[in-house]
Amino acid sequence: MSDRKRTPLAERIAVSLLLRGYAHAPWITTRLRPTMVAQTWKRATGWRESLIENGRVILGSDADPAALDAYGRGVLESMQRYMEGIAVASRMPTDRLLDRLESVEGLTEFRRHFSDRSGRGIVLLSMHMGEFEPAAAYIGKHVPIHVLYHRDSIGTLERMRTRARRRLGVVGHAVDDGLGTWAGLRDVLGRGEVVALLADRVQPGQRGTPVPVFGRRMEIPIGPFKLAESTGALVVPVFNWRMPGGGLALRMDAPLSMEGDLRGDPGNHSAVRGWVEKMETVIRERPTEWLNVHPVWRDADPAPGVAVESAA
């Protein structure tokens, strides 16, 4: 089944209208955002149920209805701000877009890793959080950057995102193009360049391995780690989020250890475990910024032997 068939028509129309609104009538669309968030929370039953389910895992099983309501509405607002960011990145001059980054952590260490990598490439692991385009444009000022992505079934979103990345010099590689894409990424890393991938949840058609996240079993994509292992690339976690005043923050962490049996026991591989720990910390600190409106946990009960901590 194609992504287009999986995405409901009403959702495709709503997202397209929002993107066009943020691109062509931003003041009106921004003013309408609270109303649109409230109506989405009220009418999008499937999303609301999934967000409440996810909120109970992230916030803790004792989270009250008011906290779950605030969490769900917060995620929906973050999704609208993400769409606003796509529209802005597709039209705003690069220097003004970069001015939106108010805080950058880890740049000196990242540039040192790039300089001392002995010809190895770098795999950047990121999440569905914040706005990717300004962060990629900033990193691209210092190193060549490529991104692996899924083509979106919503044509307006796909066109705006593609236009933004081309303007910013970010080279896109569509995973739906097949095995040739992965071969191309290995070549990119073999040249010592940088590839950014999302690794916080599996995408349609993607394979993952179940690991405990917030004490529940969740599938994490293993492809990024296999790509790094096959090329000897460094694996660097990168996070970006919105600051209270509306600006953006970017943080690049130290490379993850690649010790362990990735093929035989991926769930206990040091890089996978290290990435999951960082994911949990970032989501716990900023739960409403994780752009996930679908159920991702396999079970309703804690994984055996795993203590559950809430985001509170």
Task: With a cut of 50, list the residues of the chain below it in pLDDT.
Answer: 1-5, 302-312
pLDDT for 14 equals: 84
239 in a structural domain: yes
pLDDT for 141 equals: 84
pLDDT for 309 equals: 38
pLDDT for 67 equals: 97
Range(s) of the domain holding residue 57: 3-289
Three-state DSSP at 87 gives helix
Which token pair is 139?
């990193």
pLDDT for 7 equals: 61
300 in a structural domain: no
pTM of the model: 0.88
266 in a structural domain: yes
Beta strands in the chain (DSSP E): 101-105, 122-126, 145-149, 171-174, 194-198, 208-213, 216-221, 234-242, 248-252
294 in a structural domain: no
309 in a structural domain: no
169 in a structural domain: yes
298 in a structural domain: no
Which token pair is 40?
């989405």
User: Which residues lie across from 236 on neighbouring strands?
Assistant: 124
Domains held by the chain: number: 1
310 in a structural domain: no
Half-sphere exposure of 68 (CA within 13 A, CB side): 17
Per DSSP, the residues of 5-19 read HHS-HHHHHHHHHHH
Give me the amino acid identity at 5: K
